Amino acid sequence: MKLSLAAEEVATFYAKMLDHDYTRKGIFQNNFFNDWTKEMTPEERKKIKELGKCNFEEIHKYFGEKHEARKALPKEEKQKLKEEAERIQEKYGYCIIDGHREKIGNFKTEPPGLFRGRGDHPKMGMLKKRVMPEDIIINCSKDSAVPPPPPGHKWKEVRCDNTVTWLASWTENIQGCIKYMMLNPSSKLKGEKDWQKYEVARRLKGVVSKIRSQYRADLKSKEMKKRQRSVALYFIDKLALRAGNEKEEGETADTVGCCSLRVEHITLHPRLDGKENVVEFDFLGKDCIRYYNKVPVEKQVFKNLQLFMENKDPGEDLFDRLSTTTLNKHLQDLMDGLTAKVFRTYNASITLQEQLEALTNEDDNMAAKLLSYNRANRAVAILCNHQRATPKTFEKSMQNLQAKIDAKKDQLADAKAELKRAKADHKTKKDVKSKAAVEKKTKLVERTEEQLAKLNMQATDKEENKQIALGTSKLNYLDPRISVAWCKKFGVPIEKIFNKTQREKFAWAIAMADDDFEF
């Protein structure tokens, strides 16, 4: 049937995702169908009653063919498209701040589509509506020319607020979050902010022992409020849990952090798997990512948790005398600029530094050093619960890698056989030519062994990383100067650790850190 323009557009959003796991989830299907019917005409609603009876295959095929046609474009056409994108970037991708021309991070609004969310988000599948000029607030200086809106439209507001760094903002319709157009991470302002963040975390290193002594003493306090605060701080410090900000009314995702944990989110085991005083955590954290962990804790922490849970229903707050606000106020009194989030940055960075010291061997080859770095980074990602779904291409790429390993093993066997023959030949002839052949074959065996070792390390690294997201901690929680110093100390090119975007973002750290930098 022929759909109205609005209904057809929303149908294409679903059709494009047919080969994605999302479209097989009931909650995604229900939310999509609910929002799709709102875009239909009354006549369409009468005909289209069930999503299961709708066939999107033709639309899916159409966009698949368009995608393939784009990939098959001749080199000249691709170059034209690239030049057009660069022209748009040059026109809209820069701004002037304090007399400096700075690159803008995201100068395009998000296009309409279906909301995905992370984890099992309850709003996945809902329709992300098109952002219109009437939704957008422009922020520019009083003496600058206000960018004109598209013909026939006007901006929601134009303001001149020099206390913030965003250039435009709008409110998205799914969760009511404010979205911002910001400077590129490589900009001077962003770099200064990053540097300040890590300097605060470094200052924590000087007082963390004193703070730990205090919260351990408070574990036995006569005040219930202090006891709860000390246990929460213990979790934030030892497990790198997020503090957990109070959610806005109407927020449907049941996500929590440390301060908003409920009784139902933890189970206490006096003894489990040969360990004593084990706390079993099971809750949805930020972005609906499940946090599941079984951790042995100090005896007094365990006793306090038993006390906090007494006579409470599963849905009641574990820390009923505590909030993120009061916790951060207490931390501010302990150190200027200290919040629960600083603990996360501090513990992530100090873990990376300690792991790099423990795992790196100066005599290792490049592949082994990189494996050590990724293992150190992985320890941080596990600490911070940075998970990801196993990539769809994982099995295929592992098969390809295994095929390379098998081929390299065959090459090595052949090289060893050739070396053996060369040695036998030299034993008989004992001349210069046969000696040179032995040396040549020996080098070939050594080179092939190195290549095989490198491929095996790649396979190990890939397998260990399949459900761990290394990028999040690298971008947001790890002081980049630790990585830069490690690269300089062990002769590892910075390009092996940071990609182009990360190198631009952390240009300040690359210029600042020497090989003896310590967090």
pLDDT tens string 105-119: 888 999 999 998 877
Tokens of 378: 């992985």
Answer positive or negative: Cα dihedral of 352, 357, 361, 362. Answer: positive
pTM over 0.75: no
- Round the average pLDDT of the chain to a whole number and report it: 89
**pLDDT of the residue at 388:** 64
Q: Which DSSP letter does residue 104 get?
A: B
Question: Which residue type occupies 426?
Answer: H
Query: Quick one: which of 354, 297, 337 has its CA closest to 203?
Result: 337
Q: Which pairs count as long-range contacts for 162-167, CB under 8 Å and 24+ apart, including other chains?
A: 164/139, 165/189, 165/190, 166/139, 167/95, 167/104, 167/138, 167/139, 167/140
Of the CA atoms within 13 Å of residue 420, those in its CB half-sphere come to 6
Rounded-to-10 torsion of CA 213, 214, 217, 218: -150
Cα 441 from Cα 434, distance rounded (Å): 11
Least confident among 135-144, 305-314, 379-388, 482-491: 379-388
Query: Quick one: which of 324, 239, 222, 219 has its CA closest to 279?
Result: 239
Residue 423, Cα to own-chain centre: how many angstroms? 54
Cα 180 from Cα 139, distance rounded (Å): 10
In angstroms and rounded to an integer, the radius of gyration of the C-alpha atoms of the chain is 29
**3-class secondary-structure state, position 70:** helix
Strands 113-114 and 157-159: unpaired
Tokens of 393: 């291409």
Question: Which residue type occupies 227?
Answer: R
Cα 448 from Cα 259, distance rounded (Å): 55
Each residue of 253-272: pLDDT tens digit? 678 889 999 999 999 999 99
Tracing tokens 């090459």 back to the chain, one arrives at 411
Cα 495 from Cα 248, distance rounded (Å): 42
Give the confidence band of 387 by pLDDT, cuts at 50, 70, 90. Answer: low
Give the confidence band of 248 by pLDDT, cuts at 50, 70, 90. Answer: very low
Of the CA atoms within 13 Å of residue 127, those in its CB half-sphere come to 18
Tracing tokens 């098109």 back to the chain, one arrives at 130
- Percent of the chain whose predicted confidence (pLDDT) is above 90: 56
Query: Quick one: which of 225, 207, 226 has its CA closest to 217?
Result: 226
**pLDDT of the residue at 299:** 94
Neighbours of 493 (CB within 10 A): 9
**Would you say 107 and 7 are in contact if contact means Cβ atoms under 8 Å apart?**
no
Tokens of 399: 């098969």
Q: Which residues are catalytic?
A: 477
Please report, for residues 244, 279, 387, 403, 404, the alpha-carbon distance to residue 397 in angstroms, rounded to integers and kept in the order given. 38, 38, 20, 10, 11
Task: Please state the rounded mean pLDDT for residues 13-27.
Answer: 92
Each residue of 416-428: pLDDT tens digit? 998 888 888 888 8
- Phi/psi of residue 278, nearest 5 degrees: -95, 130
**Would you say 15 and 59 are in contact if contact means Cβ atoms under 8 Å apart?**
yes
Task: Please state the rounded mean pLDDT for residues 71-100.
Answer: 91
Cα 137 from Cα 191, distance rounded (Å): 25
Least confident among 42-46, 54-58, 285-289, 346-350: 285-289
**Would you say 510 and 494 are in contact if contact means Cβ atoms under 8 Å apart?**
yes
Task: Please state the rounded mean pLDDT for residues 9-17.
Answer: 95
Listed in sequence order, the residues at least 6 apart from 349 whose beta carbon sits closer than 8 Å to its beta carbon are: 198, 201, 477, 478, 479, 482, 519
**pLDDT of the residue at 383:** 81
* 470, pLDDT greater than 80: no
* 136, pLDDT greater than 60: yes
Give the confidence band of 251 by pLDDT, cuts at 50, 70, 90. Answer: very low
Task: Please state the rounded mean pLDDT for residues 189-215.
Answer: 92
* 250, pLDDT greater than 70: no
155, exposed or middle or buried, with CB in 10 Å at 0-12, 13-18, 19+? middle
Strands 94-97 and 113-114: unpaired
Cα 29 from Cα 24, distance rounded (Å): 7
**3-class secondary-structure state, position 296:** strand
Query: Quick one: which of 246, 444, 482, 243 has its CA closest to 360?
Result: 482
Task: Please state the rounded mean pLDDT for residues 116-128.
Answer: 87
